[in-house]
Amino acid sequence: MRYLPHTQEDVAAMLGRIGIDSLEDLFAEIPAAVRLERPLNLPPPLAESELLRELRRLAGMNAGVADFHSFLGGGAYNHFAPAVVDQLISRGEFYTAYTPYQPEISQGTLQAIFEFQTLICQLTGMEAANASMYDGASACAEAVLMAVRLTRRHKVLISRALHPGYRATVTAYCRYLDMQLEEVAVAADGRTDPADLLAKLDEDTAGLVIGYPNYFGCIEDLGQAAAAAHAAGAQLIAAVAEPLALGLLKSPGELDADIVVGDGQSFGLPVSFGGPYVGFFAARQKSLRAMPGRLVGETTDLDGKRGFVLTLATREQHIRREKATSNICSNQGLCALVTTIFLSLFGKQGLRELAMQNHAKAAYTRQGIEALPGFSLPFAAAGFNEFVVRVESGDTAGVLAALEDQQILGGIPLGGEYPELQDCFLVCVTEQNTRQEIDELVAALAGGAAS
């Protein structure tokens, strides 16, 4: 077995040193009753070439973006990742290292995380960011818990226009905690309903969670929400599932959000059937000690040289155990590195230009579809790179199936998560969709997919 270096002679010599006769003896402490007395029932081992053949076979059964024109978004975005990203994270020193608990031989990881945290602060307009969370949804759940910790209140309002996967995750995380989640309705323009929001905000409200942009691609009035939340003494949590939008939009920090979470997948991570992605989590300096997860801080060594270390570990479960701010241990370190490299490459100008292209392409597509008979756009609010399309006939499934026949993944049907939008689907357009692809989508919709 090529992964196991032991030779027969090694094994014999080692057993001798240990003073036992057989490998069996190593397991003497395991009671016979719980020993497995048969081989595991697993398929026979594959050579490397066979393994790749088998995985290529499985991969070949999937509709990747190489074969389909894809307009799927909804929290996972088909953006281009420069080759640099993957080649750099493929350096063994990065991806085969453990969590940087020994700073002397982990400065590479530590400095990169510090840079990640800094980039997230700059992007979100916040003051402190952690080393990453599992994904945007679980980061959102952690934000809700932090709001509860900070305010010692028990109710959290969640916009119905927040990504359904985020809402479900918040619900699961909070399931058995002493708190209530309440939903805020969606207004006719596709944004969170300000009236319903005001009606539900009260003195027990710890926080309010709003998507920015929201699941329908609409750009929420975060400033107004922050003002309302703050008036009630609640925290405003902005959840950013498409952080590329922040290349153009006012940052949540500028709009007075208290906690900003989201997913960095757009920044260089493949969609990879849903993961691994990377949650980010940013907050105000004053809330630092209430934050979940790891933090890297700057320090100096005995010679006065700059160095980086894990810091404020007293919040974490290794020390605080059941009183920790979170149970998270391994996070998504390498994915944070992806994001860091991606943002280093695009930088100030590039992120803006990339965001502009996304917006322009979505706007162009939106206009194309809006002009088609049989389709309409239910939500009027300004959007970034996604929008909702209504199928007048109501046959969303039929429309999407017809598109599939033309090798187009036209969008995500909304009926499953939003029964009131049974006749709607969510379209996402990125810089990866050429005008020709877009025109083909529109033509396909025009040419009968609507029927």
Residue window 375-414: x/- pattern of binding to another protein, with contact defined by CB under 8 A: -------x-x---------------x---x----x--x--
Q: Which of 100, 120, 121, 127 is nearest to 111 (CA)?
A: 100
Which of 128, 129, 137, 184 is the binder for another protein (CB under 8 A)?
Answer: 137
Q: Which of 238, 292, 240 is nearest to 267 (CA)?
A: 240
Q: Is 80 in the site for its own copies (CB under 8 A)?
A: yes
> What is the torsional sign of CA 329, 343, 119, 110?
positive
Please report, as a single letter, which amino acid is at residue 230: H
Rounding to the nearest 10 degrees, give the CA dihedral for residues 117, 120, 121, 122: 120
Which of 299, 330, 367, 393 is the binder for ligand PLP (CB under 6 A)?
Answer: 330
* Token couple for 66: 């190489």
Find out whether 84 and 340 touch, Cβ atoms under 8 Å: no
* Token couple for 58: 């499985």
Residue window 90-109: x/- pattern of binding to its own copies, with contact defined by CB under 8 A: xx------------------
- Range in contact with another protein (rule: CB under 8 A) among 48-56, 153-161, 371-379, 442-450: 48-56
Find out whether 361 and 433 touch, Cβ atoms under 8 Å: yes
Q: Is 419 in the site for another protein (CB under 8 A)?
A: no
Beta pairing partners, 391: 375
Backbone angles phi, psi at 133, to 5 degrees: -125, 175
Given the complex with another protein, which of 201 and 408 has the nearer CB atom? Answer: 408
Long-range contact set of residues 167-170: C-beta below 8 Å, sequence gap at least 24: 168/137, 169/137, 169/138, 169/140, 169/141, 170/137, 170/140, 170/141, 170/144, 170/209
Which of 231, 329, 397, 401 is the binder for ligand PLP (CB under 6 A)?
Answer: 329
| Number of residues that make up the chain | 451
- Range in contact with another protein (rule: CB under 8 A) among 149-157, 201-209, 358-366, 442-450: 358-366
Q: Is 224 in the site for another protein (CB under 8 A)?
A: no
What part of residues 387-446 is at the interface with its own copies (CB under 8 A)?
A: 431-432
- Range in contact with its own copies (rule: CB under 8 A) among 82-90, 232-240, 268-276, 373-381: 82-90
Residue window 220-259: x/- pattern of binding to its own copies, with contact defined by CB under 8 A: ----------------------------------------
Number of residues that bind its own copies (CB under 8 A): 12
Which of 83, 203, 322, 405 is the binder for its own copies (CB under 8 A)?
Answer: 83
